[in-house]
Structure 1
Amino acid sequence: MKNVTERTSNPFGLRPPFDLTGPNERTAVFGYGDANADFHLIGDHPGVHGGRTTGVPFTETESGAALQSVLRETGFVDGPADRPDLENLYCSYVHMCCLPDGEAPTDRSYDDLERFFDAELRAINAHILLPVGERATDRVLETYTTQRGRIDLEMPALHATEIRGRGFLIVPIREPSEWIDTERDALAARLEAILGRDYRQTKGVATTVG
C-alpha cells in the first residue's frame, strides 16, 4: 500500500540517532520529494551530495546540478534548483546526518543509520532504485540484491545499466562530477526507456529473478 502523506521533506518524521554538528547547524538532510514515487534517488551523505544549507538532497553541489539537469529533461524535476518540485521521484541519503566541515562518516555511523535508511526505502516502496556513486551503489546492491558477489563495483561499467534486485530494479549512477559527456546522455536515455515501458511490473519480475 502506498503512503498518502503530503509532506515533501522527511514525510515519515525520522529522527536521527545522533547530532554531531554545532548548535546553529543542520542536524541532517532528510529524504525529500514525492513519497508515492516509483523512482528513488539515493546518495551518500550531505558532505558529498549537498543540502546542508537548503535541507534538500542533491542541491548546492556540482553533482546535484548535473543530476537535476537530467531529471528536469526527463520530467521528474521542476521549480527552483534549491527547493525543486519533484514528481514521481524521491531523494534521500544512505547517511542522512550532517558532520562538521571536513569530516567524513565512519563505517560505524553508516551502520548506525542503516535501519533508518532501510525503513524509509521500504516505506517509499519505489519500483526503481537509483543509487549515486560507489558507496550508495555498494550498499544498495549488497542489501537489496542477491548479486553483489557477482558484480564488480566498477562504476563506469555499471553506470545507467539495469540490475534486477529483490523486489526492485536498480540503475546505478556514476558520481556525476566524474561524468563524461556520453554518461549524461546514457542516463537520460535509460530513464526515458524505463518510463516508456510498463516498469510497474518490475517488482514482481525482480522478486522472481533477483
Structure 2
Amino acid sequence: MGSRAVRPSVRNVTDRTSNPFGLRPPFDRSGPNERVAAFGYGDANADFHVIGDHPGVHGGKRTGVPFTETDDGLAVQSVYRDLGFATGPRDRPTLENCYWSYVHMCSLPDGHEPTEAEYDELERYFDAELRAINAHVLLPVGERATDHVLREYTTQRDRLDLDMEALHTEEIRGRGFMVVPVRAPTEWGGDDRNRLVSTLEAILERDYRQTKGVATTVG
C-alpha cells in the first residue's frame, strides 16, 4: 500500500502530535507511575480517526499514547502498521493520515472502569477533538466506542443492533462521516483481522472524501 495509505489532506490544523489542541481533562485519578491521560495522538490533519474506549482497555496509561501497551491496543496498532499509517517505536509511533483517541482519555487505577458519569464528563472533550480533526472515516473499536459514535455521529443507531460480530468492518454513512466499526481484538476470530485490512485497503483505493459540514476548530 505504501504512500497510497498515508496521503494526507492539506489542512495544516496543527503540527503537534500528542494532545494537539491542548485539552485539559477535568480530573486526575491515575495510579502511581501512570500518565494523567492517553491524549489524542497522531496526524491532526488525518482522514482516518481510530477511536478506542479508555487507557485501561486499549493502553496508554504509562506511555500516554493510545493503542500501546495492551494486547488489544497493539493488535489495533499492528493493522495500521501493515497499511503504512504507523511507523517507528511501538510505544510512540509516527502516524500519517491517521489519528488515535479514546472516548474516555483519562487514566484510572488498575482494575477500575470509568463510571457512566465519568464517560459523560469527558464526552465534550472527545466531541470537540473529533470535530477539530474532522476526519472522513471514523473507526470505533469495541462496543462502547461503536455505540457512542453511531449514536452521536450518525442517524443509524436506532436501526442497528449493537452486534459487533455483524457490524465489524461494515461501512455506515454518518452525518458527514463514514463509520467503520471494529470488533474488539480480544474477540477477533477467523478472518476478522484480514477483513479489517481488506476493508481499509478498499476504502483507500477509492475517493473516500466527503463534503463535511461539521466544525473544524475547538471551542
Contact 2:31 2:110 in 1 (8 A): no
What does residue 35 of structure 1 align with? 44
Contact 1:94 1:114 in 2 (8 A): yes
Q: Distance in 1 between matches of 2:123 and 2:139?
A: 17
Which blocks of at least 5 consecutive residues in structure 1 are unaligned? 205-210
TM-score (norm 1): 0.93
2:117 paired residue among 99, 108, 117: 108
1:62 paired residue among 58, 64, 71: 71
Q: Which amino acid aligns with 2:94?
A: D
State the Cα distance separating 1:77 from its structure 2 match: 0.9
What does residue 5 of structure 2 align with? none
The Cα offsets for residues 90-140 of structure 1, whole Å up to 9 and x where unpaired, read as 000000011111110000000000000000000000000000000000000
Q: Distance in 1 between matches of 2:47 and 2:179?
A: 12
Q: Distance in 2 between matches of 1:198 and 1:141?
A: 22
Contact 2:57 2:73 in 1 (8 A): no
**Correspondence 1:142 to 2:175:** no
| Aligned residue runs from structure 1 range 38-187, under 5 A | 38-187=47-196
Contact 1:169 1:202 in 2 (8 A): no
Q: Which amino acid aligns with 2:197?
A: A
Q: Distance in 2 between matches of 1:116 and 1:89?
A: 19
State the Cα distance separating 1:165 from its structure 2 match: 0.4
Structure 2 counterpart SS, 1:57 = coil
Task: Tell me the number of residue pairs that the alignment of Structure 1 and Structure 2 aligns.
Answer: 204
Structure that is richer in helix per residue: 1
Please report the RMSD computed on the Cα atoms of aligned residues, expressed in angstroms.
1.5
Which blocks of at least 5 consecutive residues in structure 2 are unaligned? 1-9, 214-219
What does residue 6 of structure 2 align with? none
Contact 2:35 2:63 in 1 (8 A): no
State the Cα distance separating 1:196 from its structure 2 match: 0.3
Contact 1:3 1:124 in 2 (8 A): no
Q: Distance in 2 between matches of 1:48 and 1:124?
A: 23
Q: Distance in 1 between matches of 2:189 and 2:33?
A: 38
Contact 1:169 1:203 in 2 (8 A): no
The Cα offsets for residues 141-190 of structure 1, whole Å up to 9 and x where unpaired, read as 00001110000000000001100000100000000111013000000000
What does residue 9 of structure 1 align with? 18
What does residue 208 of structure 1 align with? none
Contact 2:53 2:102 in 1 (8 A): yes
Q: Which amino acid aligns with 1:100?
A: P
